[in-house]
Structure 1
Amino acid sequence: MELDLTGRIISIVLLILASGYFSMAEISLAASPKVKLHQALENGDKRAQQVLDLQVKPGPFFSVIQIGLNAIAILGGIIGETVFSPYFEMFFRLFLSPELSSSLGFFCSFFTITMIFVLFADLIPKRIGLNKPVAISLSLIRSMLFLIWIFKPFVLMLTGMSNAILKIMGLPIKNETTITSEDIIATVGAGTEAGLLDRNEQEAIENVMSLEDRLVTSAMTTRDSVIYFGLNDTFEKIRPLIEKNPHSKYLVCDSTVDRIIGYVDSKDLLCRALENEKFSLKEKGLIKTIAIVPDSLSLSEVLETFKKQGRDFAAVVNEYALTVGVITLSDVMSTVMGSLVQTEENGYIVQRDDGTWLMDGLTPIEEVERTFEIEKMPEEETYETMAGFMMYMLRKIPKLTDKVDFGGYRFEVIDVDMNRIDQILVTKLPKEPDQPD
């Protein structure tokens, strides 16, 4: 009797360990991030590819898991009930009838073995698997592949049946889940909430992810702000322009800004100016070739153009070959870094002492949404800047004092130059009486 009881207890312990193995393998494979698995693969761990392959086609893996877990559950119930029932029955017979003691003994034995299996064969192993999914999935993958090979006939049968049912239901039989930019942004947001990332770092990462969606026109210097030299301009005409508008590069055009010849570097002109040399833009080697990009490119495509051509300065033209602006590598990087590099002098949005904000008409919509925590502007795909937003909402060319109320704020035009909105005053609107705080 003693040996029989010991053997059954050992059997239960072994079943719990086996069930824990299957539970841990199941949850760790499902929870292993593809990014970390790819990193492990790049570091030379070939097991990562085996885990990735099972994630893409998990049918055989889950078939083995279910075979193991269900077989263990049945055996555990059979063995466990006979281990504890006699002792519970003996206890209840001390003060209850034999029939009631037998029923209560069976129930208590069933409850005890169920709790033991739930706790030690399911919950704890799964918690362990969730804590370190990649490490555990890598350590168990080869043993799981061996079990898949051992149970191959059953696996083929179960996989075929489950695939057929999924096809009838119109569901995919392969896991084609990929990581999207929304997933990355959500992960970054969670990291910020957990204190792992700074708000500015979160902003920079989100800006990088948005480069594919933002057009070049959202970051360029617009046509009316472009300083350019005519090919025939003299030293006397160029010098005051440089003193008044210091830039690192200037367009050189033939008569108008729409006929671009190239650009000159301000340091080349500065060297001549310091030596009191008069110069002509027609000097050989002074004018450099400039990249020309269409206004339909995204900022990520502009970066790729800079990389391929080895340049950091480009003119932006529209479908009619008219110049709409210029963009530099610094403009793109300022878009990425956002408030990390912006100062009060070069920022689009400046908060005043009275709690209002002054905003440039060329402020990108993405920056407005982020600053004022506005989820989405109306029909924002039809414009890129706050000037465009004001025109869309007013359905006309805005004039001084025109205003729009949206998202709990009032946007009022306070400076217009030749039909172009220069500045907008932003005021937070008071909450309605029935609005919650």
Structure 2
Amino acid sequence: MSTSFVGEGFAILLLILLNGFFALAEMSLVTSRKPRLEAEAARGNRGAAVALRLLETPDSLFSTVQIGITLIGILTGAFGGASVAAHLTHVLADMPAVAPYAASLAFGVVIIVTTYLTLIFGELVPKKMAFASPERFACAVAPVMLVFMRLSMPAVWLLSLSSRAASTILRIREDGPSVTDEDIRGMLAEGVRSGVVLDAERTMSERVMRLGDRSVTSIMTHRTRVAWLDSEAPQEDIIERLAASTYSRFPVCDGDLDNVLGVIKAREYLAACAEGADVTLKNFMRQPVFIPETARALDLLEAFRTTPHVHFAMVVGEYGEVQGIVTLNDVLEAIVGDIPSPDEADEPEAVRRADGSWLLDGMMHIDDMADVTGLRLPDEKHGDFETLAGLLLQHLGKLPAIGDTLRLGPLHFEIVDMDGRRIDRVLLSTAATVKDEYAPGTDTAAQKSATDAAPSKGGSNPAA
């Protein structure tokens, strides 16, 4: 075996490793998280600073990588196809059994071996290394890539210009968000699978992200369930009502809930009465926060932040009528889940039964139902409602009654309790736990219309 043959083989191996360097550089820079690189750069890591510079011009970066890989491919083909294959042909020609096919066989062997080594050491292994620790390798290769980019600047400029022109012709947009809600949720889910993030932490993080989408009506206590005080009521009646209740704050109204005068703290008023002072409700009233029903939960948080002594808001409709009340505790429950008060301790929002079905509060928010049960509505079944009761009212298309059922995909809903005309409790089952036909005693014509009903405004009244 000649020295030139060994040298050419070594040159091919070197080119393959160089190809691996470019693959490593591309993968590590593309998959690096920008905040981590910025943190490294702030600590004085020059490689991280250079990596951030390269990522600011992705067209130039990709062009540089492609130029390097293309040149390596050409040189590898030249050495492998011309030189190494020629030497191997002479070796095989001395073997009588394969001598007639020496040239073809040598060429095939060189292609197979070169392709195999390129795939393993020039692509797969480097990319696996980069994917395992992208920021570390990005900091290491960035200075070298910057030098190569400058050396090949004319070719890089031409390719970048051509790439941008082609993108313009094909109308490829580059102004999309670099990180979406789905990306964050995916990272949280991956964190749970790897044990870095607790499942409870993921749930709360996702609920915080939804605050910007949830309306205040989805977390408020509806006006039909609001306990309020009449400003003209006798003091004895007021004291008796406050003492019997576990609520800490009460709206004070003039005749009805739409005429709100203020909000009092029950403890302050009762303490003053116990001291024998001559007090009236007006002495203890604070102005509540008034917020429109179209506002989002994040808007409410901002309103509470600017009025730190009154964490109590009146939700107002488009005609000025009070739709309900919402407190800071309601916002907290939207993040951490239901926090039962003494009044609610015996009747939680969701109870899992032995057969796998769920007994749910009709005022439960649809998102909370999905979080607690793990069962989500089919995408096409979402509409203009926010609570479980609103879902049933929209799809049933009639006044609900005990025993009414609704099937949406694999989910089966049955109304099991009513509070007057309000849906109080709903039984949620899946296709695996119920029969395929509607429950006895239910109007099947109404059942059919339930899946075809046009969207209509549904109520929303989670317990506060």
Task: Give your verdict on TM over 0.5.
Answer: yes
Q: Give the AA of the match of 1:187.
A: M
1:202 corresponds in structure 2 to 202
Q: Give the AA of the match of 2:386.
A: E
Given that residues 58 and 175 in structure 1 are in contact (C-alpha distance below 8 angstroms), is that contact kept between their aligned partners in structure 2?
A: no
Deviation at 1:385, TM superposition (A): 1.0
Identity within the alignment, %: 29
Cα deviation digits, residues 214-271 of structure 1 (max 9, x gap): 1111111111221222334443112221233211221122222112222112331243
Distance 1:144-1:175 versus aligned 2 partners, 3 A rule: farther
Given that residues 54 and 142 in structure 2 are in contact (C-alpha distance below 8 angstroms), is that contact kept between their aligned partners in structure 1?
A: no
Distance 1:319-1:176 versus aligned 2 partners, 3 A rule: closer
1:380 corresponds in structure 2 to 382
Separation of aligned partners in 2, 1:184 and 1:414? 38
3-state SS of the aligned residue for 2:295? coil
Deviation at 1:7, TM superposition (A): 4.0
3-state SS of the aligned residue for 2:281? coil
Separation of aligned partners in 2, 1:175 and 1:41? 25
Distance 1:214-1:43 versus aligned 2 partners, 3 A rule: farther
Distance 1:200-1:328 versus aligned 2 partners, 3 A rule: same
Paired residues for 1:266-415 under 5 Å: 266-275=266-275, 277=277, 279-283=279-283, 286-310=284-308, 311-338=310-337, 345=346, 347-353=348-354, 355-370=356-371, 371=373, 373-376=375-378, 379-415=381-417
Deviation at 1:181, TM superposition (A): 1.0
2:224 corresponds in structure 1 to 224
Given that residues 200 and 339 in structure 1 are in contact (C-alpha distance below 8 angstroms), is that contact kept between their aligned partners in structure 2?
A: no
Deviation at 1:169, TM superposition (A): 2.2
Cα deviation digits, residues 105-164 of structure 1 (max 9, x gap): 232123222322222122211111111112222332232222222211111112122222
Q: Any stretches of 5+ residues in structure 1 without a counterpart? A: none
Deviation at 1:409, TM superposition (A): 4.2
Q: Any stretches of 5+ residues in structure 2 without a counterpart? A: 438-464
Paired residues for 1:28-67 under 5 Å: 28-37=28-37, 40=40, 48=48, 51-52=51-52, 54-55=54-55, 57-67=57-67
Greater mean alpha carbon deviation, residues 28-37 or residues 315-324:
28-37
Separation of aligned partners in 1, 2:192 and 2:306? 35
Distance 1:273-1:95 versus aligned 2 partners, 3 A rule: farther
Distance 1:410-1:106 versus aligned 2 partners, 3 A rule: closer
Separation of aligned partners in 1, 2:30 and 2:391? 44
Given that residues 93 and 100 in structure 2 are in contact (C-alpha distance below 8 angstroms), is that contact kept between their aligned partners in structure 1?
A: no
Given that residues 403 and 415 in structure 2 are in contact (C-alpha distance below 8 angstroms), is that contact kept between their aligned partners in structure 1?
A: yes
2:154 corresponds in structure 1 to 153
Separation of aligned partners in 1, 2:95 and 2:380? 77
3-state SS of the aligned residue for 1:400? coil
Given that residues 414 and 427 in structure 2 are in contact (C-alpha distance below 8 angstroms), is that contact kept between their aligned partners in structure 1?
A: yes
Deviation at 1:388, TM superposition (A): 1.1
Distance 1:47-1:87 versus aligned 2 partners, 3 A rule: closer
Given that residues 185 and 206 in structure 1 are in contact (C-alpha distance below 8 angstroms), is that contact kept between their aligned partners in structure 2?
A: yes
Given that residues 358 and 424 in structure 1 are in contact (C-alpha distance below 8 angstroms), is that contact kept between their aligned partners in structure 2?
A: yes
Aligned length: 430
- TM-score, normalization: structure 1? 0.87
3-state SS of the aligned residue for 2:117? helix
Q: Give the AA of the match of 2:419.
A: D
1:192 corresponds in structure 2 to 192
Distance 1:260-1:340 versus aligned 2 partners, 3 A rule: closer
Separation of aligned partners in 1, 2:379 and 2:369? 9
3-state SS of the aligned residue for 1:227? coil
1:430 aligns with 2:450: no
Distance 1:359-1:118 versus aligned 2 partners, 3 A rule: closer
Distance 1:51-1:413 versus aligned 2 partners, 3 A rule: same
Given that residues 338 and 349 in structure 2 are in contact (C-alpha distance below 8 angstroms), is that contact kept between their aligned partners in structure 1?
A: no
Separation of aligned partners in 2, 1:139 and 1:308? 48
Deviation at 1:195, TM superposition (A): 4.6
Deviation at 1:323, TM superposition (A): 0.9
Given that residues 378 and 408 in structure 2 are in contact (C-alpha distance below 8 angstroms), is that contact kept between their aligned partners in structure 1?
A: no
Deviation at 1:356, TM superposition (A): 4.4
Distance 1:104-1:248 versus aligned 2 partners, 3 A rule: same
2:126 corresponds in structure 1 to 125
Greater mean alpha carbon deviation, residues 378-387 or residues 350-359:
350-359
2:239 corresponds in structure 1 to 239
Deviation at 1:320, TM superposition (A): 1.1
Distance 1:110-1:282 versus aligned 2 partners, 3 A rule: closer
3-state SS of the aligned residue for 2:418? strand
2:457 corresponds in structure 1 to none
Q: Give the AA of the match of 1:330.
A: N
